[in-house]
């Protein structure tokens, strides 16, 4: 995939956007740019989990806060610690060609940490996350990302059964918070790492 135009758009909006051929290249860059003394928070992300970066960072001594990897009783505390870490790793549900990051969250810890909290954020995006505009982004998230994620989490939502969004009012609904980031917030370093592979949901 040719990322040149999308890199230009996001760099003009204050983000630090780069493109990579594969996820292994991203991992090598993260190993280099994240200091061994820095704490690392992780937002719920299949992309980050599958990259193996959290194991690599822990093995060399980094403190990593990832709520998927702790006991159930520690999940809430770990989410808060992740939001206060030196560095934050996550993915984006969708990225638009006209320069927007579109995300939908159940609790909001991931999206909040993307724009407020850790000073430096790395957002890893596979080519499958790229769409033309915000409308397509929401369509993608609700009908391509949320249903398989709901099944993975064994949530009792209509989408987990049918594979399509029903705009439900279920207590398990994972579409509670929608955030559209149109520019990098002041004082924040947000690294967008586009990968020429299909990654995550």
| Confidence grade of residue 29 (pLDDT, cut at 50, 70, 90) | very high
Mean pLDDT of the chain: 96
Find the mean pLDDT for residues 66-84: 96
The pLDDT value recorded for residue 171 is 92
User: What domains appear along the chain, each with residue ranges and CATH number?
Assistant: 4-131+179-195 (3.40.50.10420)
- Which residues neighbour 18 within 8 Å (Cβ) at sequence distance 6 or greater? 7, 29, 191, 192, 193, 194
Find the mean pLDDT for residues 128-151: 95
- Which residues neighbour 164 within 8 Å (Cβ) at sequence distance 6 or greater? 143, 147
Place of tokens 């984006």: 92
One-character DSSP codes across 96-165: ETTS-EEEEESSSHHHHHHHSSSSEEEEEEEGGGEESSHHHHHHHIIIIIHHHHHHHTT---HHHHHSS-
| CA dihedral of 48, 21, 37, 113, whole degrees rounded to 10 | -40
**What are the pLDDT digits (tens) for 140-174?**
999 999 999 899 989 999 999 999 999 999 999 99
Find the mean pLDDT for residues 43-50: 95
32/174 Cα distance (integer angstroms): 34
98/110 Cα distance (integer angstroms): 23
What the block records as the tokens of 22 is: 């594969």
- Residues 51, 53, 54, 58: is their CA dihedral positive or negative? positive
Task: Check residue 107 and give left, alpha or beta (phi > 0: left; psi -120 to 50: alpha).
Answer: alpha
- Phi and psi at 95, nearest 5°, equal -135, 130
| Confidence grade of residue 76 (pLDDT, cut at 50, 70, 90) | very high
Task: Check residue 154 and give left, alpha or beta (phi > 0: left; psi -120 to 50: alpha).
Answer: left
The pLDDT value recorded for residue 118 is 96
């Amino acid at each position: 995939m040719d990322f040149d135009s999308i890199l230009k758009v996001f760099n003009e909006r204050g983000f630090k956007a780069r493109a990579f051929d594969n996820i292994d290249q991203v991992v090598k860059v993260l190993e280099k740019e994240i200091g061994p003394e820095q704490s690392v928070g992780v937002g719920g992300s299949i992309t980050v989990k599958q990259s193996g970066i959290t194991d690599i960072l822990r093995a060399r001594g980094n403190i990593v806060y990832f709520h998927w990897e702790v006991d159930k009783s520690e999940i809430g505390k770990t989410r808060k610690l992740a939001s206060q870490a030196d560095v934050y790793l996550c993915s984006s549900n969708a990225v638009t060609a006209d320069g927007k990051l579109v995300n939908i969250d159940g609790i909001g810890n991931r999206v909040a940490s993307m724009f407020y909290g850790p000073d430096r954020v790395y957002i890893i995006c596979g080519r499958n996350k790229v769409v033309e505009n915000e409308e397509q982004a929401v369509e993608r998230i609700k009908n391509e990302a949320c249903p398989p994620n709901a099944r993975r989490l064994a949530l009792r939502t209509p989408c987990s059964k049918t594979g399509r969004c029903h705009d439900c009012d279920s207590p398990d609904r994972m579409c509670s918070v929608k955030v559209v980031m149109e520019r990098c917030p002041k004082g924040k370093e947000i690294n967008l790492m586009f990968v020429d592979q299909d990654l995550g949901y």
